Amino acid sequence: MARTRGGGPRRRARPTVRRQAWGCALPSVHNAGAPTLIGSVQRALRLLEAVGSHSAGAPAKQLAREAGLPLPTAYHLLRTLTHEGYLRRESGVFVLGDAAERLAGGALQQKRRTMILDSLAHFRESVGAPVYFAVYREGEIEVVGVSDTPAGPACEEWAAFRETGHAHAIGQCLLGQLDEKTRRDHYDRHPVEPVTPYTVSDMHALEQRIGALGRMQPVTERQEYSLGTVCAAIPITAGDTAATMAISLPLHQEGRLLYAVNRLRSEVGALLSTLSFSISI
């Protein structure tokens, strides 16, 4: 044992332990179940909410008061948010910037997609088959959503849907809603070529088929895109956008196809009359 100059034993220093006011030692580790919260992020979000509540913007002092922040803290955060594009300062007031508007736009798109997927799930349960929703946007076929089940899986996209529109009911239904000039442009970019032995033979044959379609008549195809699969699609009225809903079934259930697609058309018509689905497109 070490000794002092006077010869007595030297006491070993004890580690310092911080204590709470009532004398109990603080735990040495954080509670693993408690979330880690970043105060500066919380304060910045409160400022963004305060700015968003004023369509014409608001000055820093007012925003600080509404967010419950000291004015110097609010100034620092407002400068940072402005630098990052989430806010803009105009005529002495702060308004939401482009970055915040992009976030809001993304949230709206997510909400619309959720509405579409919920509707597709309803249709799938009603008709007992996988259901697809697609649009023709900016010169391309875009499958917006699909609803299927493990027992009734959707058709596998083994060849890109946007490049093989001539071969499947979705594409043929969308192409049939376009004017001739727009279709020709599509064919120039995505030539009519065999996908299976049953695919429509050439552009002339495809145009004849499209010309023979009634205005709201379902489009059907049998193994033209995928062997062992039959499909049917119906046109959807969505403003100026060409849109369609479709179903697919295994070849051995081909006898159900027309009944199922007519059931789908009836269900879609009822939902569109409420405007809830058309607004979400």
Instruction: Reply yes or no on whether the pLDDT at 99 is more than 90.
Output: no
Q: Are 231 and 204 in contact (CB under 8 A)?
A: no
Range list of β-strands (E), the chain = 87-90, 93-96, 131-137, 140-147, 219-222, 229-238, 241-250
The whole model's pTM is what? 0.63
Q: Are 177 and 213 in contact (CB under 8 A)?
A: no
Q: What is the mean pLDDT of residues 35-53?
A: 83
The pLDDT value recorded for residue 182 is 95
Q: Are 241 and 281 in contact (CB under 8 A)?
A: yes
Q: Average pLDDT for residues 37-52, to the nearest whole number?
A: 85
Which one has a higher pLDDT value, 239 or 206? 206
* Six-digit token string for 80: 């940072």
pLDDT for residue 279: 43
Q: What pLDDT does residue 27 have?
A: 43
What proportion of the chain, given as a percentage, has pLDDT over 90? 51
Q: What mean pLDDT is predicted for residues 106-111?
A: 62
pLDDT attached to residue 271: 66
The rounded distance, in Å, linking the Cα atoms of 281 and 274 is: 14
pLDDT in tens, 71-96: 999 989 999 998 888 888 988 899 88
Using the predicted structure, report yes or no on whether residue 228 has a pLDDT greater than 80.
Answer: yes
What pLDDT shows up at residue 12?
A: 52
